[in-house]
Amino acid sequence: MLRPTRVRWRGGPCGATALRRREEAVTMKRGLLVGAGALIALAGVIFTLQGVGAIGGSAMSGDTFWAVAGPVIVLAGLALAMVGIRRRSVP
């Protein structure tokens, strides 16, 4: 007959280590969302400037599509960053 093994909890009472890891994961996800949103918003600004002709030297320069799509991309990036900022922490 098999005997049950004794389980030892690491990291203190009530699974404190698991809670700390979960908090770290949430913090990392928040930072990733904010960083990705900022990069997307920056790309949108560049697309807008190329669309209006302020930045030349590419096929996108002076194209109305990019002058309109750029601000939409900026808003999408800012929305993603705001989701990261407003994300609630682990209780």
Average confidence (pLDDT) per 10 residues, the chain, 91 residues: 61 63 80 95 96 90 93 97 79 55
Coil vs helix vs strand at 5 = coil
The predicted pLDDT at position 2 comes to 65
For residue 9, the one-letter residue type is W
SS3 content of the chain, % helix, strand, coil (to 5): 70, 0, 30
Range of the domain at 85: 37-91
Residue 60 lies in a domain: yes
**Number of separate domains in the chain:** 1
Please indicate, yes or no, if residue 30 is contained in any of the structural domains: no
* 79 within a domain of the structure (yes/no): yes
What pLDDT is recorded for position 91?
55
Asked if the structure places residue 63 within a domain, the reply is yes
- Give a yes or no: residue 87 inside a domain: yes
Q: Which two tokens stand for residue 15?
A: 């699974």
Report if residue 29 sits inside a domain: no
What's the pLDDT score for residue 46?
A: 95
**Spatial separation of the C-alpha atoms in residues 1 and 62, rounded to whole Å:** 80
Helix (H) or strand (E) holding 64: helix 64-86
Answer yes or no: is 2 within a domain.
Answer: no
pLDDT value at position 23?
77
